[in-house]
């Protein structure tokens, strides 16, 4: 950057070739524009990171409204639930397989919190479109019998999901449900959690746990 002392250029501003002439505090300056020596080529690490980001985003965007609730307690400073879920997935649910990012849905977190999950969680298929989830109804750690059961069924292929939140208490130990007709059980993942309500505050969840594929 150079300072102009010749009165010939003192009234000139703007771009001239690869130079920019501008005024600041009554003085005139000249700055040379930065130029690239060649076409920009992203590094392998940048290419991998971009691909991982896109893969995680495509998986989570269809359930953005669910993530808003599941991470509500931790959202602040402009960060939304999907941002927190993506950050977790990029660190814990994506693996580098010979330079290609591979997303493992069973490692994805759809809600976050420090309540305890119940032990013995299991998904059982009964008859067509009918299922049961069971768990051990015991209080341990921060778990309470008055906590509510919460479940997300999500098929990332069709991008359809079903959220089940019927006010079932932890102490019950099971829930029987039917799958919505517009959701294909083949390729659908089941995520479960428990949560607690506080008056005037965001619900407090346990971390979600994936029971795997429905079929």
The span from the first CA to the last CA of the chain, in angstroms, equals 66
Cα separation, 123 vs 118, whole angstroms: 13
CA distance 156 to 128: 21
Class of domain 44-213: mainly beta
> Could you tell me which of 116, 112, 106, 52 has the C-alpha nearest to residue 84?
112
The pLDDT > 70 percentage for the chain reads 83
Q: Token pair 């590094």 is at which residue? A: 43
The radius of gyration computed from the CA coordinates of the chain, to the nearest angstrom, equals 27
Which is it for the CA torsion 49, 52, 53, 54, positive or negative?
positive
In the predicted structure, residue 32 carries a pLDDT above the cut 90: no
Whether pTM > 0.95 for this model: the answer is no
**In this predicted model, what pLDDT tens digit does every residue of 196-213 receive, in sequence order?**
998 878 899 999 999 999
pLDDT tens across 95-126, in order? 999 999 999 999 999 999 999 999 999 999 99
pLDDT at 76 over 60: yes
The rounded distance, in Å, linking the Cα atoms of 192 and 182 is 20
All CATH 2.60.40.10 domain ranges of the chain, comma separated, are: 44-213
């Amino acid at each position: 950057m150079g300072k102009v002392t010749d009165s010939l250029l003192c009234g000139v501003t703007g771009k001239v070739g690869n130079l920019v002439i501008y005024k600041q505090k009554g003085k005139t300056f000249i700055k040379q524009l930065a130029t690239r020596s060649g076409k920009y080529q992203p590094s392998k690490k940048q290419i991998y990171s971009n691909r991982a980001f896109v893969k995680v985003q495509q998986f989570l965007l269809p359930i953005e409204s669910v993530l808003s609730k599941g991470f509500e307690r931790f959202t602040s400073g402009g960060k939304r639930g999907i941002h927190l879920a993506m950050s977790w997935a990029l660190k814990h649910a994506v693996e580098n397989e010979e330079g290609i990012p591979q997303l493992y849905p069973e490692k994805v977190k759809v809600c976050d919190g420090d309540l305890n999950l119940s032990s013995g969680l299991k998904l059982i298929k009964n008859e067509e479109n009918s299922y049961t989830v069971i768990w051990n109804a015991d209080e341990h750690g921060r778990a309470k019998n008055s906590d509510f059961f919460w479940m997300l069924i999500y098929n990332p292929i069709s991008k359809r999901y079903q959220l089940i939140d019927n006010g079932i208490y932890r102490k019950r130990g099971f829930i029987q449900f039917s799958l919505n007709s517009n959701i294909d059980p083949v390729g659908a993942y089941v995520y479960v959690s428990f949560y607690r309500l506080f008056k005037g505050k965001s619900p407090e969840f346990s971390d979600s746990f994936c029971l795997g594929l429905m079929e």
